[in-house]
Structures are given as structure tokens and as C-alpha cells.
Chains A and B, each alone.
Chain A
């Protein structure tokens, strides 16, 4: 059974210092077992300026088992599958510790973006490019960031506009979209119920 009390507190803590860390965790739907994490692309990397969403699903044994994390935003990175978004990171596997939290795990993922490990790749094609043609790798990664990591925020603006046209206040719309992790229909539901 998931320790929901702990997850609840983690979310509160994460919300509290969201300004400082830039990392956001919000529930996806009405269960705390599925969450959406958002990390900003590290400055000074090809991922700078992008906002990356990570699907989080908590196993029953959480926090004694690691959370399952996967990029929902497409990323060009040696340790992240360009197809599935699967992350190759030790703390999400055998090096997980119950003392880690969703926030620290997401911070580690963010650190992975700025420090790729091509010798232990998740995506062999990206890793080969990183090792053999770094300039091309940087170009591709930047292009993917521009295309996918910023499009989602553009998408958010479109959703906000749509909901605004339905007659909701902008602040409410934005907070509702944030709360449901950017899902337009869920945000509409939340706005109608709240």
C-alpha cells in the first residue's frame, strides 16, 4: 500500500519551494498514485528554456520501492529513450533509497540532463551521436527542446485561451490546469466542480 500521507506531505513540501527549485509535482487525476512532475531544462545545456514533463507512477511499496518515472516530453538524451521516454538512472532502480523523495528524484533527473552518461546509455543512437558527433547531438537536442519542450507550454496557453473563452477567470484556469497536470478536460471538470 502506498504511504499516501507521505506523498501528500511531499507534494505540500514541493509546492512550498516550487519557486526556488522550479520543480513541480502535481497529481494526475484523482489518485495520488499517478503524478506529473515538471522540471525546467538546466541552464547552459541544449535543454535550456524547455519544460519537461515526467510521468510518475508510484508502486505499492513506495517509498520503499522507487517511483516509476518516464519522460512524457520527448527528449534527445543518451540516457533517456527518444522513443518511450524511459530514464536510465540508478537512483530510480537499485540505488533508490526511501530517504529520497519525488522532489530529490526529479532533481536527479534534472542533473542527468546536464550530465549525460553516454557509456551507460538508454538510447544507443543518441549515445553514439553524443560520442562521435557532439555538435550534431547538441543541435538535435536543442531542436527537440524547441519543438517538444516548448510546444507543451504553447499548448498550455492555447488551453488557457479556450477555457477563458468559456468564461472562467484566468487565475483559476491556470491553477486548475496546473493542478491536473495540463489536461484540458480534467481542468474543465475541476473548474466546474470547484
Chain B
């Protein structure tokens, strides 16, 4: 207990002079991260909106009001880790001396936002009753800690015990919820997404990356990063698909394009001259049989016997047939080529 308070004092006094430069750097990268984070968050929220609107409302309010709690939790946690942790120092100095430079304030706000998101994520998955219960226990713990003031040590032990219990509880809930609801994998995804950003912004890119991991690990949010996590293999591929390619069908309207592509995979090079097909070539479908070739070879064939190399039928009649099928309206072909360009 005694040594801890010494540590606290040394952090508050020595930190400002020492890490000002680092903080500036961290601030710049933190702003960048914040932008990215906001974008992703919006994306996620919009996805969530599409699924269940009333749930979103709850999450937002819950996330907002618990942001502060979570922040102070992190502050507490980090102060116990000692002064060698860069990220924790940011948080700490902000709370210890509010008149500090805006740099640290900014970064710790970011940290707060991050953790708020984290918290929201974990809340969103569990049912409203369970989330509120866990939140309540958390805040209760915090209040106790804040009241305790200098007696960090005892509170910390309590808090860690509670956090462990919460993590275990959380895991149980997840296991219970996993088979029946859609949201737990999403929660997994969200926490995976946030945790690395969290780590980078808090760590300032220069110091201990395990610091934020430990913090969020206590909440079970970065659980997916652990190699021994049972949920990891199933949720990880889902995550990358969902985040990197959000609903490709919806965005590209690619049903037709996919169907075409599946029937006849477009070759990467012209089968006649073996040159690479560019976008124009690969969207060029001169024959109903689906045989693709580059425009040069097609022109050359038209000059000679004019038969498709794939099916040996004359190109002209096929084009006529196709236009008669479409009623002479070229919109169908236009649409198809457009979709293929979009796809490639």
C-alpha cells in the first residue's frame, strides 16, 4: 500500500516533464486513430441499426453514461501497474491534474471513448437485464474506490476480484447466448476491432502494448486475442468478412454478376493471344457461350471467318440473336458490363 502511494506521487510529479514529447506524438496518432475509430463505430452502429433499433438506443445511452465509470476504472487499473506504462500515465495524469496539457486530456478522452465503445459492445450482446446488473456492480465498485481515495491497494484487490468474477460471468453469458442469438459473434468482432486501436492509441506506439490488453482483458473484451480462447476460430473469419466486406451483395447488387461469374469464371489472360485481359476486355462478352477473348483477337476473328473460338458458331448471328432477345435494347448488356466493372 505504501509503495503504491509512492508510485502514485512519483507519477504525478515526474511524468509531465518527462513524457511531453511522447505525448505530442501520441496525440497526433491518437487523433488519427480516433477518426478511424469513429468511422468504424458509425459503420457498426448503422449495421446494428438495421438489425434492431430499440436495442441501439439502449446501447447508446448505456455507453454514454458509463463512459466516465469505465474511464476511472481504467485509471485505477493502470495506476496500479506502475509508472513504466506509458499509456497508463496519460490516463493517470489527466485525472490527477486536470489542468494538464490538452495533449493528455485528448488522449485520455480517446481512451475513454474507446473503452466506452468496448463497454457498449459487451452490453449490446447481453440481454438488457444482465447488462444493467453487471454495469451496476461495476459502478458500485468504482464508487467504493473513489471514496477510498488513497487506499488504492485494498480497493484494487477488491476490484480485481470483482473484475475476474465479471469476466467469468461474461463468459458464461456468452456461452449461453452464442447458440441462440446473432449478437454474440458481433460482440466478439467489435471487441477485436476496438482492442488493437485501443492498444495503439493508449500505448502511444512506443511503450508496452500489453497495458491496454490487460485492462480490457479484465473485462473479457479482448478475449478473442487469446490463442487459447475457444470462441476464437469460429468468430475470427466472420469478423474479417463482416468488417472488410460489409454486405457485398447489397452494395454492388451483385447477384447477377456473381451468377455470371460462377458459371464462367473470367480468365485473367486472353486464351488466344495469352496477353492479360484489361477491364474492358474482361467485361467484353461477345458470345452467348461465354467464351471471352481480348478485343484485338475478336476483331481479328471478325475479319476472318467470324466464328467464336469457343463454340465455333458465327459471331454475327449470335449478336443478332442476343439483340433480338433483348428487343434491341442495349440496357441489359450495359448493366451487366457495369456490374462486372464494379466487381473487378
Q: Which chain A residues have a beta carbon within 8 Å of chain B's beta carbons? A: 3, 5-6, 9, 61, 63-64, 95, 97-99
B300: interface (CB < 8 Å): yes
Q: Is B304 an interface residue (CB 8 A)?
A: yes
B273 touches A99 (CB 8 A): no
A97 touches B273 (CB 8 A): no
Q: Is the CB of B273 within 8 A of A6?
A: yes
CA distance A9 to B275 in the complex (A): 10
Contact assessment for A5 and B309 in the assembled complex, using a CB-CB cutoff below 8 Å: no
How many chain B residues touch A (CB < 8 A): the figure is 14
B301 within 8 Å of A (CB atoms): yes
- The answer to whether A3 and B273 have CB atoms under 8 Å apart is yes
The 4 closest A-B pairs by CB, nearest first: A99-B309, A97-B309, A98-B272, A98-B309
A99 lies within 8 A of B301 (CB): no
Alpha-carbon separation in the docked complex, A99 to B291 (Å) = 9
Nearest-Cβ distance from residue A43 to partner chain B, whole angstroms: 30
**Chain B residues with CB below 8 A from A64, complex form:** 272, 300-301, 304
Complex contact A95–B312 (CB within 8 A): yes
Task: Tell me the bound Cα distance from A99 to B300 in angstroms.
Answer: 13
**Chain A residue with the shortest CB-CB distance to B300:** A64
Closest partner residue, chain B, to A6 (CB atom): B274
User: Are B272 and A63 in touch, CB under 8 angstroms?
Assistant: yes
Q: Is B310 an interface residue (CB 8 A)?
A: yes
Asked if residues A99 and B271 are in contact (CB atoms below 8 Å), the reply is yes
| Binary CB contact string for chain B from 269 to 281 against chain A (1 if under 8 A, 0 otherwise) | 0011111000000
What residues on A are CB-neighbors of B319 within 8 Å?
A: none
Given contacts A5-B273, A63-B273, 8 further A-B contacts (CB under 8 A): A3-B273, A6-B273, A9-B274, A64-B304, A98-B272, A98-B301, A99-B271, A99-B309
Contacts of A6 in B (CB 8 A): 272-274
Residues on A with C-beta less than 8 A from B297 are 98
A61 vs B275: C-alpha distance when bound (angstroms): 17
Contacts of A5 in B (CB 8 A): 273-275
Q: Identify the closest chain A residue to B275 (Cβ).
A: A5
Give the distance to chain B from A25, nearest Cβ to Cβ, in Å: 15
Q: List 29 A-B contacts (CB under 8 A).
A: A3-B273, A5-B273, A5-B274, A5-B275, A6-B272, A6-B273, A6-B274, A9-B274, A61-B304, A63-B272, A63-B273, A64-B272, A64-B300, A64-B301, A64-B304, A95-B312, A97-B307, A97-B309, A97-B310, A97-B312, A98-B272, A98-B297, A98-B301, A98-B309, A99-B271, A99-B272, A99-B291, A99-B309, A99-B310
**Prevailing SS type, chain A contact patch:** loop
| Minimal Cβ-Cβ distance residue in B for A94 | B305
Residue of A nearest to B303 (CB): A64
Q: Quick one: closest B residue to A3, CB to CB?
A: B273
Task: Chain A residues near B274: list those with CB within 8 A.
Answer: 5-6, 9
- Binary interface encoding of chain B residues 44-86 relative to chain A, with 1 for a CB under 8 A from any of its CBs, else 0: 0000000000000000000000000000000000000000000
Minimum Cβ distance to chain A for residue B58 (Å):
61
Within 8 A of A (CB), among B249-281: 271-275
Closest to B307 in A: A97
Q: Smallest distance from the beta carbon of A58 to chain B beta carbons, Å?
A: 14
Q: How far is the CB of A104 from chain B (nearest CB, A)?
A: 11
Closest B residue to A7 using CB positions: B274
Contacts of A9 in B (CB 8 A): 274
What is the bound-complex CA distance between A6 and B271, given in angstroms? 9
Give the Cβ gap from B309 to chain A, nearest Cβ, in Å: 4
Q: Which residues of B contact A97 (CB under 8 A)?
A: 307, 309-310, 312
Give complex CA distance A5, B294 in Å. 15
Q: In the assembled complex, how far is the CB of residue A93 from the closest CB belonging to chain B, in whole angstroms?
A: 12
Within the complex, the shortest CB–CB distance from B194 to chain A, in Å, comes to 49
In angstroms, Cα B273 to Cα A75, docked, is 33
CA A94 to CA B272, docked complex, whole Å = 17
The CA-CA distance from A61 to B304 in the complex, in Å, is 10
Residue of B272, B275, B310 most packed against chain A (CB within 10 A): B272
List chain A residues, Cβ under 8 A from B300: 64
How many Å lie between the Cα of A8 and that of B273 in the bound state? 11
Residues of B within 8 A of A63 (CB): 272-273
CB B82 to nearest CB in A, in angstroms, measures: 62
Identity of the chain B residue whose Cβ is nearest the Cβ of A99 in the assembled complex = B309
B21 vs chain A, min Cβ distance (A): 58
Question: Which residues of chain A are near B309, meaning CB under 8 Å?
Answer: 97-99
What is the bound-complex CA distance between A192 and B138, given in angstroms?
A: 86
The closest CB in chain A to the CB of B308 belongs to A97
Expressed in whole angstroms, the Cα–Cα distance for A95 and B312 within the complex equals 8
Residues facing A in B195-215 (CB within 8 A) are none
Complex Cα distance A98/B292, Å? 12
Q: Digit string of B98-109 for contact with A (CB within 8 Å is 1, else 0)?
A: 000000000000
- B307 smallest CB distance to A (angstroms): 8
